[in-house]
Structure 1
Amino acid sequence: MSTVVTPPRLEHGDSQAGNVASARPRLSWRTTTDQDGWHQLAAEISLTGPDGHGQVVAVDGDASVLVDWPFEDLNPRQRGEVRVRVRDDAGWSDWSAATSFTAAFLGEGEWAAEFIGLPEPQHQGHPFLARLEFEVRDGLSRATWYATAHGTYQASFNGTDVDDQILKPGWTPYEFRLVHETTDVTSLLSPGKNAVALSVTGGWYTENFGFQGHAGPVYGEQPTVAGQLLLEYADGSTEWLVTGGHWRVTGESPWVAAGIYLGEDYDARLEQPGWDRAGFDDSGWGDAQLGSAGVLPGARTSPEVRVTQLLEVAEVLTSPSGKLVLDFGQNLVGRLRIRVSGEAGSTVTLRHAEVLENGELGVRPLRSARATDNFTLAGSGTEEYAPTFTFHGFRFAEITGWPGEFDPGAVTAEVIHSDMRRTGWFDSSHELLNRLHENVVWGMRGNFLYLPTDCPQRDERMGWTGDIQIFGPTASFLYDCDGFLASWLEDVWHEQQAAGGGVAFVVPDVLRSGDVPAAAWGDVATVLPTVLHERFGDLGVVERQYPSMKAWTDLLLGLAGDRYLWEGGFQFGDWVDPDSPPENPAKAKTDPDIVASAFLYRSTDLLSRAAELLGDHEDADHYSALAEKVRQAWLAEYTTPAGRIVSDAQTAYALAIEFGIAEGELAAVLGRRLAELARRDGYRISTGFVGTPLVNDALTRTGHVEPAARMLLQTECPSWLYSVGMGATTVWERWDSLLPDGSINPGEMTSFNHYALGSVADWMHRVVAGLAPAEPGYKKVRIAPTPLPGLHHARARHEGPYGTIEAGWRREGSTVTVEATVPPNSTAVVELPDRAPFEVGSGTHIWQFEAPGTDSPATPITLLTTLADIIDDAEAHAELLAAWDRVDPVLGADFRARTRWIQSQTLSAAFSIVSPVVADKVMGQLEDFNASREA
Structure 2
Amino acid sequence: MLKINEIRMDYEKEQIGITHVPEFSWTLESDKRNVIQEAYELEIAEDPSFENKIYASGNCKSDASAQIQPEGVNLASQKKYFVRAKAKAAGEESDWAETSFVTGIMDNSQWKGVFVSAEEEADKDNSKGTYVRGEFTVSKQVKEAFVSVTALGLYNFYINGKKVGHDELTPGWTSYRKHLCFQTYEVTDYLKEGKNAAGAILAAGWYKGKMGFDGLAKRRNHYGENTALLSQMVIRYTDGTEETVVTDESWRGADAPVVFAEIYDGEIYDAAKEIKGWAEPDCTEGTWKQVRKLEYDFSVLTGQGSGKVSLMDEVKPKEIFTTPEGDTVIDFGQNMSALIQVHAAGKKGDVIRLDCFEVLDSKGNVYVDNLRGAKESLQYTFGEDGTITYRPSFTFMGFRYAKIVSFPGEPKLENFTANAIHTNMERTGFIETSNPDLNQLAHNILWGLKSNFVDVPTDCPQRDERLGWTGDAEIFCRTACFLENTYSFYRKWLRDVEADQTEEGGVAHVVPDIISGNEGDNWLLEQGSHSAAAWADVAIVNPWTMYLTFGDKEILKIQYNSMKNWINFMREYSVDYIWNYKLQFGDWVALDAEEGSYFGATPNDLTCTAYFAYSTGLFVKAAEILGRTDDVKEYSDLYDKIVDKFQRTFYDENGEMTAQTQTAHIVALYFRLAPEKYKEKTVQGLLRLLEKENGHLVTGFVGTPYFCHALSQNGHVKEAYELLLKDDFPSWLYQVKMGATTVWEHWDGLKPDGTMWSADMNSFNHYAYGSIGEWLVRVMAGLEVDEKKPGYKHAVIYPRMGGDLDYVKAEYRSVYGPVKSFWEVKPEETVLHVSVPANTTATICLDGAKEVKAADGLAFAAGKDCMQAEAGSGDYEIHFVR
- What TM-score does the superposition give when structure 2 sets the normalisation length? 0.93
Q: Secondary structure at the match of 1:605?
A: helix
312, 320, 324: which one pairs with 1:320? 324
Aligned equivalents of 2:818 and 2:493: distance in 1?
Answer: 27
Are the structure 2 counterparts of residues 549 and 146 from structure 1 closer, same or farther at C-alpha, using a change threshold of 3 Å? same
Aligned equivalents of 1:99 and 1:581: distance in 2?
Answer: 58
Q: Contact conserved, 1:117 with 1:288, CA < 8 A, in 2?
A: yes
Q: Contact conserved, 1:176 with 1:295, CA < 8 A, in 2?
A: no
Q: State the 1:420 CA deviation.
A: 0.5
Q: Contact conserved, 1:576 with 1:588, CA < 8 A, in 2?
A: yes
Q: State the 1:791 CA deviation.
A: 1.6
Aligned equivalents of 2:439 and 2:263: distance in 1?
Answer: 33
1:64 and 2:70 matched: no
Are the structure 2 counterparts of residues 212 and 456 from structure 1 closer, same or farther at C-alpha, using a change threshold of 3 Å? closer
Question: Partner amino acid for 1:11?
Answer: D
Q: Secondary structure at the match of 2:6?
A: coil
Question: Partner amino acid for 1:579?
Answer: D
Question: Partner amino acid for 2:844?
Answer: V
504-513 vs 196-205, which moves further: 504-513
Q: Secondary structure at the match of 1:734?
A: coil
Q: Contact conserved, 2:156 with 2:163, CA < 8 A, in 1?
A: yes
- Tell me the residue number matched to 2:245: 241
Q: Secondary structure at the match of 1:781?
A: strand
Question: Partner amino acid for 1:680?
Answer: K
Q: Contact conserved, 2:323 with 2:329, CA < 8 A, in 1?
A: yes
1:845 and 2:864 matched: no
Computed over aligned residues only, the root mean square deviation of the Cα atoms, in angstroms, reads 1.7
Aligned equivalents of 2:164 and 2:580: distance in 1?
Answer: 53
Q: Contact conserved, 1:126 with 1:222, CA < 8 A, in 2?
A: no
Q: Contact conserved, 2:594 with 2:600, CA < 8 A, in 1?
A: no
Q: Contact conserved, 2:370 with 2:758, CA < 8 A, in 1?
A: no
507-516 vs 546-555, which moves further: 507-516
Question: Partner amino acid for 2:277?
Answer: G
- Tell me the residue number matched to 1:208: 210
804, 817, 826: which one pairs with 1:790? 804
Which digits, 9 at most, give the CA deviation of each residue in 1:794-838, with x for residues without a partner?
Answer: 121110111111113212236322221111111111233343143
1:128 and 2:117 matched: no
Q: Which has the larger share of strand?
A: 2
Q: Contact conserved, 2:5 with 2:26, CA < 8 A, in 1?
A: yes
- Tell me the residue number matched to 1:163: 165
* Aligned 1:696-707 pairs, distance under 5 A: 696-707=708-719
- Tell me the residue number matched to 2:112: 112
Aligned equivalents of 1:543 and 1:413: distance in 2?
Answer: 40
1:305 and 2:309 matched: yes
Q: Contact conserved, 1:732 with 1:754, CA < 8 A, in 2?
A: yes
Aligned equivalents of 1:763 and 1:401: distance in 2?
Answer: 46
Q: Contact conserved, 1:125 with 1:223, CA < 8 A, in 2?
A: no
1:574 and 2:587 matched: yes
618, 624, 628: which one pairs with 1:606? 618
Q: Contact conserved, 1:117 with 1:249, CA < 8 A, in 2?
A: yes
Which digits, 9 at most, give the CA deviation of each residue in 1:147-187, with x for residues without a partner?
Answer: 11110000101100011111110000000011111011111
Aligned equivalents of 1:105 and 1:59: distance in 2?
Answer: 31
474, 480, 489: which one pairs with 1:484? 489
Q: Contact conserved, 2:794 with 2:840, CA < 8 A, in 1?
A: yes
Q: Secondary structure at the match of 1:266?
A: strand
Q: Contact conserved, 2:275 with 2:285, CA < 8 A, in 1?
A: no
- Tell me the residue number matched to 1:677: 689
Are the structure 2 counterparts of residues 427 and 304 from structure 1 closer, same or farther at C-alpha, using a change threshold of 3 Å? same
Aligned equivalents of 1:805 and 1:400: distance in 2?
Answer: 49
Q: Contact conserved, 2:372 with 2:759, CA < 8 A, in 1?
A: no
* Aligned 1:501-650 pairs, distance under 5 A: 501-512=505-516, 516-561=530-575, 563-567=576-580, 569-580=582-593, 583-585=596-598, 587-650=599-662
Q: State the 1:319 CA deviation.
A: 1.2
Q: Secondary structure at the match of 2:710?
A: helix
Q: Contact conserved, 2:309 with 2:422, CA < 8 A, in 1?
A: yes
Q: Contact conserved, 1:126 with 1:223, CA < 8 A, in 2?
A: no
267, 279, 296: which one pairs with 1:276? 279
465, 468, 475: which one pairs with 2:473? 468
Q: State the 1:63 CA deviation.
A: 0.4
* Aligned 1:339-488 pairs, distance under 5 A: 339-357=343-361, 358-488=363-493
- Tell me the residue number matched to 1:771: 783
Q: State the 1:666 CA deviation.
A: 2.4
Question: Relative contact order, CA 8 A, sep 6+: which one is greater?
Answer: 2
Q: State the 1:501 CA deviation.
A: 0.9
Which digits, 9 at most, give the CA deviation of each residue in 1:517-540, with x for residues without a partner?
Answer: 210000001111100000111110
Aligned equivalents of 1:516 and 1:325: distance in 2?
Answer: 41
Q: Contact conserved, 1:582 with 1:746, CA < 8 A, in 2?
A: no
Which digits, 9 at most, give the CA deviation of each residue in 1:217-258, with x for residues without a partner?
Answer: 21123212211222222233222222122210012x210000
* Aligned 1:817-856 pairs, distance under 5 A: 817-832=831-846, 833-834=848-849, 835-836=862-863, 837-851=868-882
- Tell me the residue number matched to 2:674: 662
Q: Secondary structure at the match of 2:602?
A: coil
479-488 vs 740-749, which moves further: 740-749
Q: Contact conserved, 1:301 with 1:487, CA < 8 A, in 2?
A: no
Aligned equivalents of 1:568 and 1:166: distance in 2?
Answer: 39
Question: Partner amino acid for 1:520?
Answer: A
Aligned equivalents of 2:572 and 2:333: distance in 1?
Answer: 51
220, 223, 234: which one pairs with 1:219? 223
Q: Secondary structure at the match of 1:552?
A: helix
- Tell me the residue number matched to 2:291: 288
Q: State the 1:608 CA deviation.
A: 1.1
Aligned equivalents of 2:254 and 2:105: distance in 1?
Answer: 31
Aligned equivalents of 2:748 and 2:529: distance in 1?
Answer: 32
Which digits, 9 at most, give the CA deviation of each residue in 1:465-489, with x for residues without a partner?
Answer: 1111100000000011111101111
Q: State the 1:639 CA deviation.
A: 1.1
- Tell me the residue number matched to 1:885: none
Q: State the 1:405 CA deviation.
A: 1.9
Q: State the 1:580 CA deviation.
A: 3.3
Identity of aligned residues (%): 35
Q: Contact conserved, 1:14 with 1:20, CA < 8 A, in 2?
A: no
Q: State the 1:140 CA deviation.
A: 2.2
Which digits, 9 at most, give the CA deviation of each residue in 1:255-299, with x for residues without a partner?
Answer: 000010110000011111111111112672110012231343111
Q: State the 1:71 CA deviation.
A: 5.8
Q: Secondary structure at the match of 1:170?
A: coil
Aligned equivalents of 1:787 and 1:216: distance in 2?
Answer: 51
Are the structure 2 counterparts of residues 437 and 275 from structure 1 closer, same or farther at C-alpha, using a change threshold of 3 Å? same
4, 26, 31: which one pairs with 2:28? 31
133-142 vs 46-55, which moves further: 46-55
205-214 vs 389-398, which moves further: 205-214
Aligned equivalents of 1:614 and 1:762: distance in 2?
Answer: 26
* Aligned 1:686-701 pairs, distance under 5 A: 686-701=698-713
Are the structure 2 counterparts of residues 665 and 815 from structure 1 closer, same or farther at C-alpha, using a change threshold of 3 Å? farther
Q: Contact conserved, 1:447 with 1:453, CA < 8 A, in 2?
A: yes
Q: Secondary structure at the match of 1:777?
A: coil
Question: Partner amino acid for 1:163?
Answer: G
Are the structure 2 counterparts of residues 13 and 111 from structure 1 closer, same or farther at C-alpha, using a change threshold of 3 Å? farther
Which digits, 9 at most, give the CA deviation of each residue in 1:872-918, with x for residues without a partner?
Answer: xxxxxxxxxxxxxxxxxxxxxxxxxxxxxxxxxxxxxxxxxxxxxxx
Question: Partner amino acid for 1:840?
Answer: A
Gaps of at least 5 residues in structure 1 are 852-935
- What TM-score does the superposition give when structure 1 sets the normalisation length? 0.88
Which digits, 9 at most, give the CA deviation of each residue in 1:681-731, with x for residues without a partner?
Answer: 112122111111101000001101121111100001110000000000000
Q: Contact conserved, 1:124 with 1:221, CA < 8 A, in 2?
A: no
Q: State the 1:134 CA deviation.
A: 1.4
Q: Contact conserved, 1:533 with 1:777, CA < 8 A, in 2?
A: yes
